A and B are shown apart, each in its own frame.
Chain A
């Protein structure tokens, strides 16, 4: 039996049922509330990738034949789409990667590592995903630099006053922050962080993974230096993502992967690199991934504002429902939160909550959520997270809340 959403399961002015019909996987009896881990993919994305493989498959940029030209046009068209989506200056500022993690590593090891010396400072935040913590930690270790942490205010927002106070115009070289916390759902004041960092002469990388599906992106408005995101958290395919960087910084960045496609000339003794961005895309790229991302961007851009309002209202419904439940602690700020809610159930381990929910057809994330420093800050080992997309329904939020009651009944 499939649980097709009823119009009543939406928010006034928005019917998720129409969207659900675009997702074959939602015909299964599963309430997918793990969208912050990965979103499901609509037919348009699947068809675009399938169409490429069936009708246009060829290597990009190196073939003179018809299919090669079609593949190149599709791939570079996707790059232009990503640039436009991000508010970037030019398609050349966009590098396709396997996702956010790869994008951050490219910058940390390809540029930051060369700019940082002993005693310099790299800042990350206490709410960081491991993918925006560990690469910087490794650069700091390798270069004898110090990893500094932007602390959190009690309700789970960045303590910008402490950050500004701690910035050192002499030592601070790099700052890495998340646009949206994958645990707290907090939307960070990226522009303010960038302004403060730039005044201190530091560069800023923004992990955009949790924001791109829900908020309009504008790297120019953010004024960041690099922006990384994944395709699969915004209805696109896994193994696909992109890095945007300022052109003058990309020109200074060193490639990490060497081989085909990234070179200009190879001699016995030395080689020179292809122009930006190709020097950062060694080997045969994941062309269907880029095309899927292109289709996903178009799908997101076609969403009505009411779809985003619907996600906010589902999140609010979950937060309010959890807040009144005895023994449930909701993490994260009450204001400036989007699309997800993490919580703990007293006396019930997060995995057991998730297992009981799974038994009732509700998929949530449980564990440290790749944010162990934040977990320690909260004084917990793990938490449960429900995260929402426009195809979710109020009925699914109710299933979540009922499932938590069932878990409490079983374990306490």
Chain B
């Protein structure tokens, strides 16, 4: 159990960075976990250079989904849509599979989540919303 609910994860879950209340319709993307009803709505603001200024979101979710959203919201600031897509793919490759290397820093709290496979989709919820929220890929 301590593998899943590490102190760093709980700290994010209790005080999620970027979490707010979004008026209906202002979100850029949303995701629903059909299995449990958890839901996240994500809104982006961009700098003139098309870098992410801030990601805010309204979430109803478990500790794992809230911590993931919190860590991701902080980590994505300053990134371009293309960099965000690259990071999304890299995250999906690692979560529940190879795990996160040292350079991923606090994301390493998710190492060991493969022992709780039902919870991997909790950590992926924010990314599903981000995928919908990103501007269409130019490529």
- B1-20: CB near A (< 8 Å → 1, else 0) gives 10011000010011000000
A359 to B4, CA, bound (A): 10
Are A381 and B1 interface neighbours, CB within 8 A? no
Give the total of A residues in contact with B, Cβ under 8 Å. Answer: 17
A203 close to chain B: CB less than 8 A:
no
Other-chain contact of B63, A349, A372, A381 (Cβ < 8 Å):
A349
Are B1 and A359 interface neighbours, CB within 8 A? yes
A114 close to chain B: CB less than 8 A:
no
A400 to B41, CA, bound (A): 33
Of B30-38, B73-81, B87-95, the stretch lying at the interface with chain A is B30-38
B58 close to chain A: CB less than 8 A:
no
Other-chain contact of B119, A355, A356, A381, A411 (Cβ < 8 Å):
A355
A381 to B37, CA, bound (A): 6
On whether A355 and B37 interact (CB within 8 A), knowing A349-B63, A410-B10, the answer reads no
Are A349 and B61 interface neighbours, CB within 8 A? yes
On whether A368 and B36 interact (CB within 8 A), knowing A349-B63, A410-B10, A411-B10, the answer reads yes
A411 to B5, CA, bound (A): 9
Are A381 and B62 interface neighbours, CB within 8 A? no
By a beta-carbon cutoff of 8 Å, the part of chain B in contact with chain A is 1, 4-5, 10, 13-14, 35-39, 60-64, 116, 119, 122
A355 to B13, CA, bound (A): 15
B15 → chain A, closest Cβ, in Å? 12
A190 → chain B, closest Cβ, in Å? 28
A382 close to chain B: CB less than 8 A:
yes
Other-chain contact of B37, A352, A375, A410 (Cβ < 8 Å):
A375
Are A372 and B10 interface neighbours, CB within 8 A? no
**A residues within 8 A CB of B38?**
349, 351, 381-382
A366 to B5, CA, bound (A): 17
**B residues within 8 A CB of A352?**
5, 62-64
A411 to B63, CA, bound (A): 9
- A353-379: CB near B (< 8 Å → 1, else 0) gives 001100110000011100010010000
Most buried by A among B4, B35, B39, B63: B63
A110 to B57, CA, bound (A): 45
Are B36 and A355 interface neighbours, CB within 8 A? no
Are B39 and A381 interface neighbours, CB within 8 A? yes
Are A349 and B62 interface neighbours, CB within 8 A? yes
On whether A381 and B60 interact (CB within 8 A), knowing A355-B116, A410-B10, A411-B10, the answer reads yes
**B residues within 8 A CB of A349?**
38, 61-63
A23 to B116, CA, bound (A): 26
**B residues within 8 A CB of A355?**
1, 4-5, 62, 116, 119
**B residues within 8 A CB of A375?**
37
On whether A367 and B37 interact (CB within 8 A), knowing A355-B1, A359-B1, the answer reads yes
A411 to B6, CA, bound (A): 11
Q: List 17 A-B contacts (CB under 8 A).
A: A349-B61, A350-B36, A350-B62, A351-B119, A352-B5, A356-B1, A356-B5, A360-B1, A367-B35, A368-B36, A375-B37, A381-B39, A381-B60, A382-B36, A382-B38, A411-B10, A411-B63
